[in-house]
Amino acid sequence: MDIVLWIIISLLFVISIVGIFFPVLPDTLLLWGGFLIYHFFIAEPGAGLPASFWWGMVAMSILLYGADLLTNMYFVKKYGGSKASSWAAVLGIFLGIFLFPPFGMLIMPFVLVVLVELLFQNQPIERAVKAGVGSLIGFLSSALVKVMLQIVMIIWFFVAL
C-alpha cells in the first residue's frame, strides 16, 4: 500500500510543476496533497512532519501565489508601463486563466497592458508594446521562480522525512 501512496505523491509533485505552465492545474494544492498523503497515511502516528516544515510550506505557498502578481507588476513597470498598466497585467492574469486557458496568462496581460497604455495613458504604440513585453517577461520570470520554489519545497519535504 505504501508503494501506491508514494507513486501518488510523486505524481502529485510532478503534476504540480506542470501546473505552473498549465494554470488549470492547482499547482500549490497538488504539492500540499502530496504532503498531506504522507502525513496522514504513511507516517507513523505522532512521527509526521515537524511543525517547522508546515510553517515553511505555508510561507512558501504564499510566495508561490504572489509570484505571478508581483513579477508581472514589476516587469511592466520596469519596461515603462504605468501603475494602471501594472494592475491591468494582474487583471489579465486572472482573466486569462478563466477565459483562454492555458495560454491566456500570456496573452491577456499583454493585450490589457498595451490597451491601457494606448487608450488611457496616451502612449505611443512602441512604448505600449514595450510595456506589454514587460508583462510577458514577468510571466516567464514568475514561472522560473515558481519552478525553483516548488523544487525547494519538494526537496525540503524529503529532507524533513
Q: Residue 139: which of 102, 106, 107 has the closest Cα?
A: 106
Cα–Cα separations (whole angstroms), residue 46 to 34, 51, 59, 153: 18, 12, 23, 22
More confidently predicted of 150 and 106: 150
Domain extent, residue 123, equals 2-160
pLDDT-derived band at 140, boundaries 50, 70, 90: confident
The per-residue pLDDT of the chain, averaged, comes to 90
How many distinct structural domains can be found in the chain? 1
CB 40 within 8 A of CB 9: no
Q: What is the pLDDT of residue 26?
A: 86
pLDDT in tens, 77-121: 899 889 899 889 888 888 888 888 778 888 999 999 999 999 999
Q: 3-class SS at 112?
A: helix
Dihedral angle of Cα 77, 82, 88, 93, to the nearest 10 degrees: -10
Q: What is the pLDDT of residue 147?
A: 94
The C-alpha cell of 31 is what?
504539492
Q: What is the pLDDT of residue 9?
A: 97
CB 36 within 8 A of CB 47: no
* Confidence check: pLDDT of 3 > 80: yes
More confidently predicted of 68 and 77: 77
